[in-house]
Amino acid sequence: MPRDTLWTTIAAALRDDIAQGAYAPGDRLPTEAALSARFGVNRHTVRRALADLAGTGTVQPRRGAGVFVTARPADYPLGRRVRFHQNIADTGRTPSRRFTRLETRPARPDEAEGLGLTPAAPVHVVEGVSLADDVPLAVFRSVFPAARFPGLLAALDGQSSVTAALAACGLTDYTRQESRLTAKAADPVLALALQVSPGAPVLRSVAVNVDATGRPVEHGTTWFAGDRVTVTVRADQA
């Protein structure tokens, strides 16, 4: 059988498997070796079939992890109170966060401006990855005034909820003052964290959160994986 017919037939068989529910959204497909054995072909032919499925958005390769069936995008509302864990739990998925950076440094100019601080004032920086059912949805950087929350980094030790850590530091509620959304392409470092291909579309959100008196408490930047999140803004919460 011609090679082109082989890979298109394999792609069609896998597409039918997915349509029939053999592999649900978010599931990892069998390895190239397993698929090669199943269809009696070499790995190059399997790769052509998988590339075809990826090209149509049916699957998503993740570097170092495998090939996954594309999950239905998570609905992520941007309201006055944006809480990652609650947003994801409301979709029936399990939220989690993995911190990659917890440190104190001088504020960058845009951070100082957003937080109403003097140039180079000390800030706490919290960076990490937000996941739903262990699938990366977003990379985030949250910046807080260190003078106001001196114990924040210690409060984050052993837990993944920034909201709970802020509450432990005396801030029981905060709301979003503004959000700015910009379409971007993932650079290699961001792509690795999100497990997408370099150049894949991401949606960057830059936001400032304030306390009940309107005083800025957080300057946050989030990079959402474009194919995994549907960001919604309600008119009554804009």
**Segment 119-153, tens digit of pLDDT:** 999 999 999 999 887 888 899 999 999 999 999 99
Q: Per DSSP, which regions of the chain are E strands?
A: 59-62, 66-69, 74-77, 95-106, 122-132, 135-145, 175-185, 201-210, 216-225, 229-232
Residue-level pLDDT at 1: 45
- Spell out the domains of the chain, with CATH numbers in brackets: 3-69 (1.10.10.10), 74-237 (3.40.1410.10)
The pLDDT score that the predictor gives to residue 182 is 95
| Count of all residues that appear for the chain in the document | 238
CA-CA-CA-CA torsion sign (59, 85, 180, 207):
negative
Per-residue pLDDT of the chain (238 residues; tens, 9 = 90+): 445 578 989 988 998 888 788 988 888 999 999 999 999 999 999 999 998 888 767 888 887 889 988 877 777 777 777 778 777 787 777 888 999 999 999 999 999 999 999 999 999 999 999 988 788 889 999 999 999 999 999 999 888 789 899 999 999 999 999 889 999 999 999 988 988 778 888 999 999 999 999 999 999 999 998 877 888 876 555 4
pLDDT for 4 equals 56
Residues contacting residue 236 through CB under 8 Å, at least 6 positions apart: none
* Distance spanning both ends of the chain, measured CA to CA: 58
Q: How far is CA 97 from CA 27, 57, 105, 170, 203, in A?
A: 20, 26, 22, 22, 19
69 phi and psi angles, rounded to 5 deg: -65, 135
Residue 233, H or E segment: none
pLDDT at 16: 86
pLDDT at 126: 97
